[in-house]
Amino acid sequence: MKGLDITVAMVSMALMVYTCQAGSSLHPLILIPGNGGNQLEARLTADYKPVSLFCKRVGWNKAGWFRLWFDPSVLLAPFTRCFAQRMMLYYDPDLDDYRNAPGVETRVPHFGSTESLLYLDPHLKHITSYMAPLVKSLEELGYVDGKTLFGAPYDFRYGLAAAGHPSHTGTKYLEDLRALIEDASASNGGKPVILLSHSLGGLFALQLLNRNTPSWRQKYIKHFVALSAPWGGTVQEMLTFASGNSLGVPLVDPLLVREEQRSSESNLWLMPSPKLFGRDKPLVVTPNATYSAYDTAQFLDDIGFPQGVGPYKSRTLPLIDELVVPEVPVTCIIGSGIKTPETLFYGDGGFDEQPEVVYGDGDGTVNMVSLLALEAKWGDERNQTLKIINVNGVSHTSILTDDTALTEIFGEISRINSQVIMSSVA
């Protein structure tokens, strides 16, 4: 009993120390958003060739930059066409890399701050809130934007490429993210950093860790927490490429944004992993063909996007199949119990029509096999600590707003921060 009393007293003391000194003991934390999870700005140059006179007038700001994402005018068809043209990427086979549409320059505002992650349009906070509830929870823990809490927004249209292939925009982002990590650590007494990602941000974070040395990771990374990460892609991405995806936004014709969505390098990165989804699992079924994840190249050609086959096979597929352990502690927090596209059935109308969908388990966007990919891949790895927290009934996006999910995230970040206090008290 005496030993138990001592243990209880030590725990109580640790909690008091943590409560009283939270602000000074917090590890710096960097938020990495998902696809479409931060503001994106653009300006049009003299090389811009609008698809219509209407598009020339809309957004032509002689003063310079305007918000490209998210602008609510995209909900109306004439604006949707302008938006899609300006968001387009083009793969240059000579450069083996992606670039913006001619006459469109883009930039990501507020790198290093959480400002562009809170709301996609700060004038429409109620309907474009993204990480605002999560940031509020972190602030209640004692985090302060620009001091212990940082944001790492990026141009989410761009992805990364396998070794030997250039990826200028994505690689530059990893360089900036590395510098932010080092600066955040230095400004907080050398404490290693917690990375907290959502969705696609998890893929970028894992690539950052794997592309730096073990000594760098040991010095600068305390923990990596990934929310709703699509480690092995999603079946929904095949729907996006085949028929366009309005993402549930009313009034938007998915065919108007299909070409733009196909052009996105990061969307190609989110195609289902052959190693995870397997050769025998039908993902898309048509009257003339059945496609598994192993048939993605043929699928891209058959839907009328042959220009995507080369980049997919040479630049993207090696990344999709690459889930190397980073040898830093990893926690995956996922949602489940939400019907998620598992097989798409197309009729005689072809890919211009929306398919009949058979659903399976997942978070509404990412299939369970993808959400749990690290557990399957890293289960026997001795040098990798992995924890899975499953929040049933929470979707891919509501994981950032749901009270139960936020409580789990809050608890995990608190636990990570308290480790140093507990060890010092012991």
Which residues are part of the catalytic machinery?
199, 363, 396
Q: What are phi and psi for residue 15, nearest 5 degrees?
A: -65, -40
Edge-first strand order for the sheet with 356-360 is 290-291, 284-285, 340-345, 356-360
Contact by Cβ (8 Å): 283, 272: yes
Q: Measured between alpha carbons, how far is residue 115 from residues 37, 121, 195, 404, 406 in Å?
A: 12, 11, 17, 24, 19
Q: What is the separation of C-alpha 65 from the centre of its chain, rounded to a whole number of angstroms?
A: 25
Q: Tokens representing 116?
A: 């562009």
> In 3D, which of 397, 334, 329, 406 has the Cα closest to residue 141?
406
**DSSP H or E run through 413:** helix 403-425
Name the 3-class secondary structure at 422: helix
- Tally the residues of the chain: 426
DSSP strand pairing (40-44 vs 290-291): unpaired
Contact by Cβ (8 Å): 150, 156: no
Which parts of 187-253 fold into alpha helices (H)? 200-210, 214-220, 236-243
Bridge partners (DSSP) of residue 341 are: 359
Q: Tokens representing 262?
A: 């196909």
Mapped to the 3 state alphabet, what secondary structure does 66-85 carry? Answer: EEEECCHHHHCHHHHHHHHH
Q: How far apart are CA 300 and CA 251, in angstroms?
A: 27
Q: How far apart are CA 366 and CA 343, in angstroms?
A: 13
DSSP 100-153: EPTTEEEE---TTSSHHHHBSSTTSHHHHBSSHHHHHHHHHTT--BTTTEEE--
Q: Look up residue 118 and give its amino acid.
A: L
